[in-house]
Amino acid sequence: MVIVYKVSDNTKEKMISYYEDKKRDKTPSYAVFQAEEGGTIITLYESGKVMFQGVSADVDANMWKEVEAHLNNGKLPVENQKKEKEKKSNEELYEERKKYYYVNSVGSDEVGTGDYFGPIVVTASYVSRDNIPFLEELGVRDSKKLTDDKILKIVPKIISKIPYETIIYTNEEYNAHPEYNMNKVKAILHNKAILGLLKKDNFNYEKVIVDQFCYPKNYFGYLKESNNVFRKITFTTKAEDKCLSVACGSLISRYVFIKEMDKMSKSLGKMVPKGAGTTADEFGKWIIKEKGKDILKKIAKLNFKNTNKIINN
């Protein structure tokens, strides 16, 4: 058994004193000392890390953890605090995955809500347990780390095997309802995508999951005018990290968004920027000089602050 952790300076001093008559003659590189007691080999390094080796390593390690806590009012060294947090985080992630990852699920996610130019794209997908190895091999598990180039390569493989429903909400549709807030738009589109997917087959799903962008009460409030509302939804934050069907929904939506932006760029004769920063403002100023202000109704979300910057500057 081997246990390693870091101790504070005051605990180091206590250990040096305690093991004074138990030290070995030879000391490993970068070590303050190496000692042996009751079958446990204890090595204290200059960095403050201490290693316990042997059958009863846990007994000695726990004893010094108690000393550490006593000397420092119950506080662990910063490095140990980080390890405890990481351990807790990993345990929580495993528990989350049991609820969301290893289940047959329908998941929905959107792209384009933060981009001034281009449509809003929402996709709902169905992922069964049998699909997990296939998707992990493609890298879907770490979907946020995938570049646009990687997405363009793997999504055709995903859509050849994973059932999905995509809704493209154009800029003209978006601008026709200026009273809508973005959360209402998302609620309407998620509901439409989920219902559209479930009409395609009798999927054996255990959960329908949506990344929580508002309180469930508000989500369904936004849908009060809809004739058909799917209500058995599990809302959770960071759903793309927890659930493969949501990750697939995100990737497919991103793929469609990239394709739509490429079409727009070709039709306008210049690459249309993503996002809503200064590059979007500069492009907007250029395009209205070329084609007039009315073009923004077709290619942009007019209620974004960018519009005033483009037209009035």
What's the pTM value of the predicted model, to 2 decimals?
Answer: 0.71
Residue 96: per-residue pLDDT: 61
Residue 142: per-residue pLDDT: 67
Band the pLDDT of 141: cuts 50, 70, 90.
confident
Contact assessment for residue 25 and residue 19, using Cβ atoms and an 8 Å cutoff: no
Instruction: Kindly tell me if the per-residue pLDDT of 107 is higher than 80.
Output: yes
SS3 content of the chain, % helix, strand, coil (to 5): 50, 20, 30
Instruction: Kindly tell me if the per-residue pLDDT of 202 is higher than 90.
Output: yes
Unique residue bearing structure tokens 């519009």: 307
Instruction: Kindly tell me if the per-residue pLDDT of 286 is higher than 70.
Output: yes
Q: What value does the mean pLDDT of the chain take?
A: 90
Distance, CA of 56 to chain centre: 41
- Percent of the residues in the chain that have a pLDDT greater than 70, as a whole number: 92
Q: Report all structural domains of the chain as residue ranges with CATH numbers, in order of start.
A: 2-81 (3.30.310.10), 105-270 (3.30.420.10)
Calculate mean pLDDT across residues 94-114: 86
Chain length of the chain: 313
- Percent of the residues in the chain that have a pLDDT greater than 90, as a whole number: 66
Contact assessment for residue 256 and residue 121, using Cβ atoms and an 8 Å cutoff: yes
Calculate mean pLDDT across residues 281-290: 96
State how far the Cα of 144 lies from the Cα of 217, in Å rounded to an integer: 28
Sequence letter at residue 50: V
At 38-96, the pLDDT tens digits run: 889 999 998 889 999 988 888 888 888 888 888 887 655 555 555 555 555 556 666 66
Residue 65: per-residue pLDDT: 87
Question: Which residues neighbour 125 within 8 Å (Cβ) at sequence distance 6 or greater?
Answer: 106, 107, 108, 162, 163, 164, 165, 197, 245, 248, 249, 252
State how far the Cα of 278 lies from the Cα of 52, in Å rounded to an integer: 56
Question: Which residues neighbour 286 within 8 Å (Cβ) at sequence distance 6 or greater?
Answer: 270
Sequence letter at residue 270: K
State how far the Cα of 298 lies from the Cα of 119, in Å rounded to an integer: 10
Higher-pLDDT residue of 100, 143: 100
Question: Is residue 14 classed exposed, middle or buried when 0-12, 13-18 and 19+ CB atoms within 10 A define those classes?
Answer: middle
Calculate mean pLDDT across residues 154-176: 97
Closest by CA to 140, choosing from 253, 257, 243, is 243
Calculate mean pLDDT across residues 27-43: 89
